[in-house]
Amino acid sequence: MEEFDLIIVGSGAGLNLVDAAVKSGMKVALAENGDMGGTCLNRGCIPSKMWIYPADVIRQIEEGARIGIEAKIEKADFEVVRERTWDTVLKERENIAEAVKEDPRVTSIRDTVSFVGERTLKASDRTIHAPRIVLAGGARSAVPDVPGIDEVEYQTSETIFDIAELPKSMIIMGGGFKGCEFGHFFSAFGTDVTILQRPARLLPNEELEISSAVTRKLGQHVAVRTAHDVLEIRKTDGGVQVISRDRTTGKEVSNEAEMLMVATGMKSNADWLDPAAAGVELDERGYVVVNEHLETTAPGIWALGDITGRHMFRHTANYESQVVWYNMSSNDKAFVDEHAIPHAVYTYPTVGSVGMSEEGAKRGNLKYLVGYNFYSNAAKGTAMANDHGVVKVLVEAGTRRILGAHIAGPEADLLVQQIVYLMNAGDESYLPMARSQVIHPSLSEVVAGAFAHLAEPGAHHHH
């Protein structure tokens, strides 16, 4: 049995803890059964944005036609995109592996570990124990149990970045953020893309107005089929055939393509860890249960990031790693603050969102006001000939506390961030924005304008 001060499972946001722990003189073990850097670096945020930014450029060039700029794309070179992506990912991956190897205070275990008792884990050939353990082992693509899926080749977000060339046609199962991001990329690069989505709309976790904007714009380039239940998948000479039932019409539909991508959801990696052996409880979906201090049900064991199934964003996992470190190394306990967790979906258009949905405000029985604004109402939006951008904000009536904000349109990720800062300031009201001069003509006016249009829910005249 090898003894450590701290064991960390997972080299994504778990690395933040390795860093803090060795600085404070701890002897650390880091277990990682995949590539160093976790999902974000290897099969998530980093490679997907290296792919998607060029797709944004392509769509921007095309949009030029609306303002009198006729341009032709000579070539969209996937090989260049691929090389840039892998240069970035591999360089960073090697840096991490190198730093871990060179640090004598870190023992790197490149293997799957599982619990064999209280605070005790086993890798293939060694048993390790520590008074403190952090589970940051992430999640992986869940493949739905559809007849025939095992008979065909398919891609997931774990494998898609390895493809050597673009398919001519592609079916994406799933219209959540992954389906919408990859649908945007492949369609911009000339692939004929169909998204088959079981829920009745794309991005079902976003506000209806946001979903609609994405469906309208992405739908100009991708065949979007929502409310479709996939019945069967068959191998064909040229690739795959997917039979689905359209719940709206009740009819069976067949789609054929060279490539199939499965992006229907995630599953926790907790099942690899045999958590029951250590008294670590899982919820009904298989994610690690944590309390408001990110403690699991087993004393001395914390969990953070995707393995908890709460908020699957790297920036949230990074924040959670700070909370865990504080709770592990000080006498009082920090609470995890989830009131203003922002995220973006890098599809066409970009989506930026923070805080509550309107549904959430209703569920919490809050008295709230809603404000809408459209890019086309602002001079800069007009200059851009933008016909789809929308901002929706939710504010608590009386206190003026910002509850949430939801944006679809160019730079939505930057625009929503302005609101995130306000939600973390003082009384969380929008008044600092109302009192501020807003650069004219800028897209920031669209955001400020949404707060200027607050009204009772239902009082609005939609575009």
């970035």: which residue's tokens?
88
Could you give the angle at the alpha carbon of 243 between the alpha carbons of 241 and 248, nearest 5°? 145
Q: For residues 246 and 226, is the Cβ–Cβ distance under 8 A?
A: no
Other beta carbons within 10 angstroms of residue 152's beta carbon come to 16
What CA–CA distance (Å, rounded) separates 256 from 241? 4
Residue 440 is a catalytic residue: yes
What CA–CA distance (Å, rounded) separates 277 from 263? 31
What CA–CA distance (Å, rounded) separates 444 from 380? 9
The 3-class SS string of 412-443 reads HHHHHHHHHHHHCCCCCECHHHHHCCCCCCCC
Beta bridge partners of 239: 236
Q: For residues 394 and 322, is the Cβ–Cβ distance under 8 A?
A: no
DSSP labels for 80-121?
HHHHHHHHHHHHHHHHHHHHHHH-TTEEEE-S--EEEETTEE
Q: Which of 228, 388, 440, 461 is catalytic?
A: 440
Tokens at residue 51, please?
């792919």
Q: For residues 10 and 307, is the Cβ–Cβ distance under 8 A?
A: yes
Beta bridge partners of 423: none
What CA–CA distance (Å, rounded) separates 319 from 327? 13
Other beta carbons within 10 angstroms of residue 276's beta carbon come to 11
Burial of 402 (0-12, 13-18, 19+ CB in 10 A): buried
**Which parts of 144-283 are beta strand (E)?**
169-173, 192-196, 223-225, 228-236, 239-246, 252-257, 259-262, 266-268
């008044």: which residue's tokens?
431
**Catalytic residue set:** 440
